[in-house]
Structure 1
């Protein structure tokens, strides 16, 4: 993609994020709607800071702007109070962000103003910035969905989704050596490198992610109430609270429906389930395995298995939900961490698990097979689902 097209994408991304901030009241911009999500204003501010870091500090060697606000976004102090308390009111924040964005677009449109080093070659800088915005844009959408979930609703389901028992609709991946990771993707994040050769045993992987209908079958089978399927720390409360995906609610007739950005909607049984945490995904896999037969041995996929299945063209039904993986989110062998926090993956703490793929709201800058991210195992607010693997036949 040429520079003009990428600059157009960046300008549209600026506008999209501003529109999200303006879609709610000034007070709501600074409200936390979920304990693991920052307020809406934070994500726009962070994106503006990171864009300026890449364009001016990295691209021009000028930290005049970023050094004044770095302590807000990447604090070195031990102050544990939320950093967003230091943000200005919405109008001032938007003026600050727009002034930075206009200056950054001017610099990006004139490559002669940027340093000539490996990270500035071609359109790499623009690709890096676009994906920083894409990540924060997705978080902003998560915040708005959580806001929707707090609104009361008298919605009635028109056509109730029906439970669908899991089936072993799988494709076989033979034992072998496979490539994973990024070798030459423009703008790839630090956690995608270096590219690896991995040896995998043979396995079967589900052709599709777990569906809404599959999840209804799990609920109706009492899956949330059976301790044998659950890790102790992830077991839902016995009073029934949270015994369903984060984005699901029941109408007065007991039918389940979903809540998204635009409000309530009827669930489609074949669509991927969204809004589950890793504990739920693992419990579901244990329930499926307990069905026996060709479902025995069902487990969550490892992220290597997902990437190999996609790279080899064995699965193509992905991209509507991020998919939980079995493994802890760790750096690849030979990983060299960047020296700056702005460029580093901060989730390599042993407490995050890998997520692969993309969701319905993921921007094009993040849609590549090597992209990986991490989430805490109890995180239900993510646009996340699951996919299972099975032993070979």
Structure 2
């Protein structure tokens, strides 16, 4: 893709963020609907701040825009519960954001020669980075809107087509033992995707499709949330403490049937659609119930590159392994994107969801969350 096309793509990513904030009422703009999520308006401000940080402060030493707002929009400096009350009025934030977004696009299209040779601009790296950063926050903003809908859904609905449990009969793809390439390449890849690795894998079989809603309901109806033997110690303790008994966005009608709630309202759960809204703990318990296991992320990527996985990009897919650094890992362009999360407690996810932008839907992209997080659009696929 040419530089001009990438700049146009950045403009599109900017506009998506603005549209979500423009459509929000004042409460949605400022409220926090989940402990792990910031207010909607904060994400727009943070993304514009991040553009200015890299394009102006880091690239040419001008912090006139970023310095006054760094405390609000640098995540470690302001706790999530404090962010909403510190936001400017919604119209003011929108006017400020759109003006700076337009200025940043103009700046990129008219770079002075001395800036064009900067290492951050080599092969349009920084433009790729900003597109992906905006895209990730766009998906997070949709998580916020989903959590808002769940927060406000206080009257049970009744599904038109009740979900029925089905026997788990996965169609498997057999992967032979061998040496498989995993990882991405710059300028598109994030630091945790490089350098590319050679993974030496033994033979395995992987389900062609993620676990579906009907298959997950079978786990629930077989006592999956009540059977301690299916859970590891940490997962069982978490599940019992929080009273978890279904995916995050599933709700039960008065007659016992299940339906789902999203930002678009309540809806019937489609039989073959991948289950979503589950934690790593739940994914592990389901895999044990199925006498299977979660894939290592190298297995997932190898099978994906061969072309044997179906429905990738429908849900993020939990992997068995903790998020870790590849051999030769170097933090870039800053430490905080990957380094703090290489703690053995975050687990890798692969694939992307229906709400994931194309800029980050690639076989090598690595998402990562703590094992108890279920507000994300995540499901699972099985390995045998």
Distance 1:69 1:339, change over 3 A: same
CA distance in structure 2 between the partners assigned to 1:117 and 1:388 by the alignment: 45
**What is the number of residues matched between the two proteins?**
381
Matched residue, 1:167: 169
CA distance in structure 1 between the partners assigned to 2:162 and 2:213 by the alignment: 11
- 1:154 to partner: Cα distance: 4.4
Cα pair 2:156 2:252 within 8 Å, conserved:
no
> Does residue 319 of structure 2 align to residue 318 of structure 1?
no
Say which SS state the counterpart of residue 383 (structure 2) adopts: strand
Matched residue, 1:91: 91
Matched residue, 2:204: 203
Give the helix-richer structure, 1 or 2.
2
> Does residue 180 of structure 2 align to residue 178 of structure 1?
yes
Matched residue, 1:8: 8
- 1:342 to partner: Cα distance: 6.0
The RMSD of aligned alpha carbons is: 2.3
Matched residue, 1:52: 52
- 1:148 to partner: Cα distance: 0.5
> Does residue 364 of structure 2 align to residue 373 of structure 1?
no
**TM-score of the aligned structures, taking structure 2 as reference length:** 0.92
Distance 1:14 1:282, change over 3 A: same
Please identify, of 303-312 and 1-10, the stretch whose mean Cα deviation from structure 2 is larger: 1-10
- 1:91 to partner: Cα distance: 2.3
| CA deviations over 1:131-181 (Å, ceiling 9, x no partner) | 000000000000000001122344221111211121242111111111111
| CA deviations over 1:25-78 (Å, ceiling 9, x no partner) | 223322111111111112111111111122223443433322333333336769
Distance 1:149 1:343, change over 3 A: closer
CA distance in structure 2 between the partners assigned to 1:267 and 1:197 by the alignment: 40
Please identify, of 87-96 and 127-136, the stretch whose mean Cα deviation from structure 2 is larger: 87-96
Ranges in structure 1 where 5+ consecutive residues have no aligned partner: 290-297
Matched residue, 2:284: 282
Cα pair 1:225 1:238 within 8 Å, conserved:
no
Matched residue, 2:148: 147
CA distance in structure 2 between the partners assigned to 1:33 and 1:41 by the alignment: 12
Cα pair 1:193 1:332 within 8 Å, conserved:
yes
Cα pair 1:171 1:204 within 8 Å, conserved:
yes
Say which SS state the counterpart of residue 112 (structure 2) adopts: helix
- 1:344 to partner: Cα distance: 4.8
Matched residue, 1:234: 235
CA distance in structure 2 between the partners assigned to 1:88 and 1:82 by the alignment: 13
Please identify, of 301-310 and 39-48, the stretch whose mean Cα deviation from structure 2 is larger: 39-48
- 1:15 to partner: Cα distance: 2.2
